[in-house]
Amino acid sequence: MSSIKDLIRTIPDFPIPGIMFRDVTSLFDNAKGFGECIEKLVEPYRSTKIDKIIGLEARGFIIGGAIARELECGFVPIRKAGKLPGKTITQDYELEYGKATLEIHEDAISAGDKILIVDDLLATGGTAEAGISLVEKLGGEILACAFIINLPDLGGSKRLESLGISQHILCEFSGH
Res 175: pLDDT: 83
Please count the CA atoms within 13 angstroms of the CA of 11 that sit on its side-chain side: 9
Q: Which domain holds residue 91?
A: 47-172
pLDDT band at 36 (very low <50, low <70, confident <90, very high): very high
Q: What is the pLDDT of residues 111-126, one digit of tens each?
A: 999 999 999 999 999 9
Is the residue at 14 inside a domain?
Answer: no
Res 56: pLDDT: 98
Total structural domains in the chain?
1
Phi-psi region of 173 (alpha: psi -120 to 50; beta: other; left: phi over 0): beta
Is the residue at 56 inside a domain?
Answer: yes
What are residue 53's phi and psi, to 5 degrees? Answer: -100, 130
CATH number at residue 104: 3.40.50.2020
Is the residue at 35 inside a domain?
Answer: no
Is the residue at 67 inside a domain?
Answer: yes
Res 95: pLDDT: 67
Residue 54 is which amino acid? I
CA distance 96 to 87: 29
What's this model's pTM, rounded to 2 decimal places?
Answer: 0.96
Helix 59-71 crosses helix 31-42 at what angle (to 10 degrees)? Answer: 60
User: How large is the average pLDDT for residues 150-171?
Assistant: 97
Res 50: pLDDT: 98
SS (H, E, C) 19-66: CEEEECHHHHCCHHHHHHHHHHHHHHHCCCCCCEEEEECCHHHHHHHH
pLDDT band at 96 (very low <50, low <70, confident <90, very high): low
Res 97: pLDDT: 64
Buried b (16+ CB within 10 A) or exposed e, 133-145: bbbeebebebbbb
Is the residue at 82 inside a domain?
Answer: yes
Which residues belong to the active site?
A: 59, 96
Q: What is the pLDDT of residues 76-87, one digit of tens each?
A: 999 999 999 999
Is the residue at 3 inside a domain?
Answer: no
Within the chain, residue ranges assigned H as helices are 25-28, 31-42, 59-71, 126-137, 156-162
Is the residue at 145 inside a domain?
Answer: yes
